[in-house]
Structure 1
Amino acid sequence: MNLSKDKKTILVVEDEYDILFSVKSFLESEGYEVFTAQNGQEAFELLKKKKMPHLILLDMKMPTMDGWEFSRRFYKAYDNKAPLIVMTAAANAEERAREAHANGWIGKPFTLEDVSDQIKKFT
């Protein structure tokens, strides 16, 4: 039996390598299949090539295409077919998450437990 077919997939979009690596490693250790992108444009390219993930973790401040632009385009193109959780250092994170059509948010800095708590709500 191929267990990888049963794994839930998560797309992590984050430009800071240390955060990206930590979150990816943690999620893989929790049994998720993880795809990564370092900006919104890379994320859109992945969405064209891969199946729709079960969840997207999205940094809001990135080069090339930031999280705000990604969320607008994602909502328009895919009508939020996957839950979107934003990761942001903004003081008004919850309000900003609503503006981005996000289903949840994680304030930076965060712990891996914070990530786990949010993801469990949607997977």
Structure 2
Amino acid sequence: MEHLNCLLVIDDDHDILLSLQDALEMEGYHVATASTGREALESLKHGLRPDLILLDLMMPDISGWAFRAWQRSHSEFASIPVVVVSGQGLSSPEVAQLGVAGYLPKPLDLDDLLDTVARFVPPARQPGIASW
């Protein structure tokens, strides 16, 4: 289940999840999605090894805070970088407490999203360039 240039997007808002998936796939990324924290944990437990996780904090079953605590406590997943994507305004100390690689506030700016993702994961192909 491991992919190169793979992202895991975790968000309980179906519209946001699909929008992020579409935008990232158009840039050449492989995108796995999870609409709950529990679904994301199961994906990781079953072999998914994304290069980056985009994590919403406010979810109904397992919050982003709890997901991150679980991830950090398991050495095989702890090194996967996480960027929080949340409408919950976070202070610098809160971001530091989460130990994440970045924070993008909602509503998202597409250029900021793509620039942030590209810092961690190069796209699999250049958009707009045909492969022969």
- Say yes or no: TM over 0.5: yes
Correspondence list, 1:1-123, <5 A = 7-78=4-75, 80-123=78-121
CA contact (8 A) 2:56 2:85 kept: yes
Letter aligned with residue 110 of structure 2: L
Which residue of structure 1 aligns with residue 127 of structure 2? none
For the residues of structure 1 that align with 2:93 and 2:107, how far apart are their CA atoms?
Answer: 17
For the residues of structure 2 that align with 1:94 and 1:14, how far apart are their CA atoms?
Answer: 22
State the superposition RMSD in angstroms: 1.7
Q: 1:121 to 1:94 in 2, by over 3 A?
A: farther
CA contact (8 A) 2:8 2:33 kept: yes
CA contact (8 A) 2:55 2:84 kept: yes
Matched position secondary structure for 1:28 = helix
State percent identity of aligned pairs. 34
Query: What are structure 1's unaligned runs of at least 5 residues?
Result: none
The number of aligned residues is 119
Q: Once superposed, which parts of structure 1, at least 4 consecutive aligned residues long, lie more than 3 Å away? A: none
Query: What are structure 2's unaligned runs of at least 5 residues?
Result: 122-132
Q: Which has the higher contact order (CA 8 A, sep 6+)?
A: 2
Matched position secondary structure for 1:46 = helix
Q: State the TM-score, normalizing by the size of structure 1.
A: 0.88
Q: 1:20 to 1:93 in 2, by over 3 A?
A: farther
Shift of 1:6: 7.1
Q: Deviation per CA, 1:50-105, whole angstroms, max 9, x where unpaired? A: 33100000000001001000000000013522110001223334432221111101
